[in-house]
Structure formats: structure tokens, C-alpha cells
Amino acid sequence: MILLIDENVAVAVVDYFRQRGHQVFMLTRDVLARGVPDLAIAASGDEVGAIVVTHDKDFTLLVARVPIGRRQRFRHLGRISLFCKETRARRRVERLIESIEFEYDLAQRQRDRRLIFEIAETSFRVVR
């Protein structure tokens, strides 16, 4: 997976995804300047078919499944939304990593290859 890590995600989460062998780019250090608008982040990620990892709830509207007949704005951008406390994010990702990777592999065989995965304190959801 190509992961773009938003500025609000702990370095521990970044380290864990790297340990798992994923391509990880920290937005504020590797790609864009700090405080860049979400639309710019989404556009950059969409160009390379990346997955944004974020605590920012605004991305749920930017990267969403769209009903048939409506045009998608970002057709190649996925997201992993962390709706858990920042201090628990790594632990939640560790616990769910096999599900995340399974769903990513499954998505790669579909017409819409985007992974949309939401992680809460006690649950998770895949948006298909």
C-alpha cells in the first residue's frame, strides 16, 4: 500500500506501517507543507492511488463511496480514518492490520480499487 500520513497521526502508527513493508509518506515532511488544505492532500494522493491515514473527519466527505450516477471527485484515493484516540491509534492499527491488508488486497481485484477503512475505539468498518 502507498500511505500518505496526515499531520495529526502519531509517528508510532507511521513506524508500524513501515515495519509491515508499506510505502509510507508523511505529508508534512515528505510531500507537502504543514497546514496544506485537505483538498490539496486529496488531489496529491489521488494522483498516485494512495491511501490517506488521518484522524481528520473531513476526509469522510472527500473520500467516500458515491451512489451510482453521481461523479466521484477522487477516483483513486483511499482512506484509513482513525476515529479512536490518538494515543490508541497504533494499538488499534496493530490489532486490525490483517483485516486492513486483506481488504486492500480484495479491493485491488475490484473495479473501484480504493480502500475505505474506518477504525473506532471498539469497532471498525469497511466502506464498500
How is residue 63 written as a grid cell?
473520500
**Confidence (pTM):** 0.90
Considering only residues 68 and 109, tell me which one the structure prediction assigns the higher pLDDT: 109
Distances (CA, A) of 126 to 12, 33, 93: 23, 30, 14
CA-nearest of 102, 105, 112, 107 to 67 is 112
Domain count, the chain: 1
Answer yes or no: are the C-beta atoms of 13 and 89 closer than 8 Å: yes
What is the domain range of residue 76? 2-126
Question: Is residue 26 scored above 90 in pLDDT?
Answer: no
Give ∠ CA 5-59-37 in degrees, rounded to 5: 70
How is residue 86 written as a grid cell?
490518538
Amino acid at site 59? F
pLDDT confidence bin for 92, thresholds 50/70/90:
very high
